Chains A and B, each alone.
Chain A
Amino acid sequence: DGGITQSPKYLFRKEGQNVTLSCEQNLNHDAMYWYRQDPGQGLRLIYYSQIVNDFQKGDIAEGYSVSREKKESFPLTVTSAQKNPTAFYLCASSIPGTGVLPQHFGDGTRLSIL
């Protein structure tokens, strides 16, 4: 079955450490997204990519970095510059030509500070 796989499901970060969240999709979608969700809040866009080797910053890109070397993969690195990384992170993808927001989401990675 096609879908989006995020790993790991839970992740712990030490002070000063960079961590990378994995996102892989086998839906053949061009566009991929990373969102952050905090308790009681909606999703906030971190980065999005509409095509391989290209990506744009979202509303809260500071302290995060991404790469898009392959169509199916869009990893997110949470750097030590992100001072409040504890949140639920969601990766998503969209079908071309069906609007701006994504239709498919992974099951998320919950990141906590040690």
Chain B
Amino acid sequence: SQELEQSPQSLIVQEGKNLTINCTSSKTLYGLYWYKQKYGEGLIFLMMLQKGGEEKSHEKITAKLDEKKQQSSLHITASQPSHAGIYLCGADADMRFGAGTRLTVKP
């Protein structure tokens, strides 16, 4: 089965700073999804990447799929308190999710 490992597990940044979250797979990535979750709420779908090298953006959030590294990265530019939450990646193969990265943005 496919394992998805997210790093870091938690992240605290100052407002306005850039940050990157990684999702690494033990198998080749075909469909990779990014979600955001506020504590105690459901997941919000951010974007899906399907091909190696593909890059997508959603407001100030950009995600990229590196097929060779079996990894996807999610980059937030000029972070704001509204970006705080848990970011999860998910993969089509085996329908699995990573454990999530908890992001705190300090004003």
The size class of the interface chain A forms with chain B is 20 to 34
> Which residues of the partner chain B approach A105 to less than 8 Å between Cβ atoms?
42-45
**Chain B interface, number of residues (Cβ within 8 angstroms):** 21
> Which residues of the partner chain A approach B90 to less than 8 Å between Cβ atoms?
42-43, 101
Q: What mask results when residues 73 to 113 of chain A are scored 1 for a CB within 8 Å of chain B, else 0? A: 00000000000000010101000001111111111101000
Residue of A with least CB distance to B92: A100
Residue of B with least CB distance to A102: B45
Q: A43-B88, A107-B41, A107-B42 are in contact. Are A101 and B95 (CB under 8 A)?
A: yes
Partner among A43, A103, A107, A110 whose Cβ is within 8 Å of the Cβ of B45: A103
Question: Is B76's beta carbon under 8 Å from chain A?
Answer: no
Per the bound structure, the CA–CA distance linking A6 and B52 in Å amounts to: 36
Q: Identify the B interface with A (CB < 8 A).
A: 4, 31, 33, 40-45, 48, 50, 88, 90-92, 95-100
